[in-house]
Chain A
């Protein structure tokens, strides 16, 4: 068996305890912590017998260890139960909302990469110049701006004052998503039915939310790329390339950036958690019908099975992304092996 496939298999098995622990944390937070979900759901004055009956129905008055085993088995079967408020499977509610969040985070990520990597590389190249200082300052300041406020300010400037970009939703009122919805990813769906006016409408709705999400994370990437580029630019092979007379720009953006990129990539796994958190807030600000909105709407409705389901899906995504990032890292850098 090759080295790489052995690495991938080991890494995969190491993900299992992580997922298990994350699931246990979700269970502890949502089931064992103080608070009476059923009582609150039925309103403050529901008679004791009604509350007991509902608990019986939901299996909430069995011993905790049995509930726990049952919960783990449920997740293994990818069955997240039924909503307590609507007649709906939790998995179905999530499947409807997940594409919106993935679409938003994907475009956010692209913007983060574009801003972060190129500005970081440029700052490292122009080290100690005013441009460098300006980019570093941008990196620190943008990191301290709450993503929801940045979203509101962009809405105010581009949506209200200049009135050039939409501030809410995934499509305009004249474009009906149901006419083209197949995969749930509107960018793909509109292309599949070759409806270009709808495609343009979907893209233009993506601009502000993904810009908001992307800008906030770009600060960290600027900082990481810059620090790594500074190290790489000092390396012997860069001086050698310089001596061979290769153009400066080509050395910085091709030779150096490629090597500085690897450590940045490993940080992506952790930054992805920030991206998810940012998406929850961005969705609320832009009325974006994704997982974050689903989570909050159901929190207001006290729909515990759905809340639990959404958080489990977030946990699974985080574990999966960290697995994928590590595998990509091992492919890109052959020195990484167990």
Chain B
């Protein structure tokens, strides 16, 4: 059967609304989150097209002009356009947060799988280490790492990535332990499948689904940690455009009442974190309603 484009659109729309009826409010939370994230990803990809000024342009307008007119979000003390800096800043924070989440999920999932599957003394020691890191305040650990590594995009990504490895490890290890006892794993073993086949072809695909939700929530948290590090002046060299650093700069002008310098960068950090959180919460409810209660 062939559809005309209009028919296909109508079908997709009715499917979309149907999902909304099926899952209720959780579906709309997911959609809202996805829209926020997509909008900011779009901002990062097409910064050059959207931004009216260069983020470094020190003659974009008057010094410390309030929002309005040519400058949607005003200008800062160096006469740069705040809105343009917001647009370019989205690149830095998205890159660091998503890359950090990829790195930590990679190591966390692999270590969790191996640890849960092999068991024994290796598993006990690794679990103890991961639990200790997990209990330690993540931000303080990231501060220590960032301070030792010095400023730089790669360094801040590593500092943020390290603190989330235990989150994935604990989740994946727990799941591996329970999947290991399933009947289909026993069946695979009975027909002579090797250890690595069972691990990668039977256990791994079943574990990966639940990590999607954790990944999304992890990115939300990584966004706030990245911005926290740069706000504290630890993560990045000053040449890079970043919301956390703009917030720290704007802080100096708070007593004199230049509210736009802190309001907009902070609101963007919150909005981006909120987008990923809503995406994750919606996914969690739809994929696995009991996941977040554990």
Q: Interface size for chain A: under 10, 10 to 19, 20 to 34, or 35 or more residues? A: 35 or more
The stretch among A18-26, A172-180, A238-246, A252-260 that forms the contact with chain B is A18-26
Q: Is B165 an interface residue (CB 8 A)?
A: no
Q: Is A299 an interface residue (CB 8 A)?
A: yes
Which chain A residues lie closer than 8 Å to B293 at the CB level? 227
Which chain B residues lie closer than 8 Å to A232 at the CB level? none
Q: Is B40 an interface residue (CB 8 A)?
A: no
Is A144 a contact partner of B150 (Cβ separation < 8 A)? no
In whole angstroms, how far apart are the Cα atoms of A152 and B135 in the complex? 28
Q: Is B8 an interface residue (CB 8 A)?
A: no
- Say how far B141's CB is from chain A's closest CB, in angstroms: 8
- Say how far A142's CB is from chain B's closest CB, in angstroms: 10
Mask: chain B, 172-190; 1 = CB below 8 Å from A; 0 = not: 0000000000000000000
Q: Given that A149-B262, A307-B147 are known contacts, is A25 also in contact with B136, CB under 8 Å in the complex?
A: yes
Is B274 a contact partner of A277 (Cβ separation < 8 A)? no
Which chain B residues lie closer than 8 Å to A269 at the CB level? 135
Q: Given that A34-B149, A148-B247 are known contacts, is A21 also in contact with B132, CB under 8 Å in the complex?
A: yes
Which chain B residues lie closer than 8 Å to A200 at the CB level? none
Select the residue from A17, A29, A146, A296 with max chain B CB neighbours within 10 A.
A146
- Identity of the chain A residue whose Cβ is nearest the Cβ of B272 in the assembled complex: A144
In whole angstroms, how far apart are the Cα atoms of A309 and B294 in the complex? 35
Q: Is A208 an interface residue (CB 8 A)?
A: no
- Say how far A279's CB is from chain B's closest CB, in angstroms: 9
Mask: chain B, 104-134; 1 = CB below 8 Å from A; 0 = not: 0000000000000000000000001101110
Is B255 a contact partner of A148 (Cβ separation < 8 A)? no
- Identity of the chain A residue whose Cβ is nearest the Cβ of B276 in the assembled complex: A144
Which chain B residues lie closer than 8 Å to A149 at the CB level? 247, 262, 266-267, 269-270
Is A273 a contact partner of B137 (Cβ separation < 8 A)? yes
Select the residue from B131, B227, B254 with max chain A CB neighbours within 10 A.
B254
In whole angstroms, how far apart are the Cα atoms of A149 and B254 in the complex? 12
Q: Which of B135, B150, B254 contacts A160 (CB 8 A)?
A: B254
Interface positions of A from 127 to 147, Cβ below 8 Å from B = 140-141, 143-146
Q: Is A94 an interface residue (CB 8 A)?
A: no
- Say how far A85's CB is from chain B's closest CB, in angstroms: 14
The stretch among A56-64, A68-76, A186-194, A311-319 that forms the contact with chain B is A311-319
Q: Given that A18-B131, A144-B273 are known contacts, is A156 also in contact with B254, CB under 8 Å in the complex?
A: yes
**Can you list 21 A-B pairs with a CB-CB distance of less than 8 A?**
A140-B278, A144-B273, A144-B274, A146-B228, A146-B231, A146-B270, A149-B266, A152-B266, A155-B254, A156-B254, A161-B257, A280-B137, A281-B139, A295-B143, A296-B143, A296-B233, A299-B143, A299-B147, A307-B147, A311-B144, A322-B135
Considering the complex of A and B, which 6 residue pairs feature the smallest CB-CB distances, nearest first? A149-B266, A277-B139, A144-B274, A277-B137, A21-B132, A144-B273
Known: A143-B277, A155-B254, A281-B231. 8 other contacts (CB 8 A): A144-B273, A145-B270, A276-B140, A280-B137, A280-B143, A281-B232, A284-B232, A319-B135
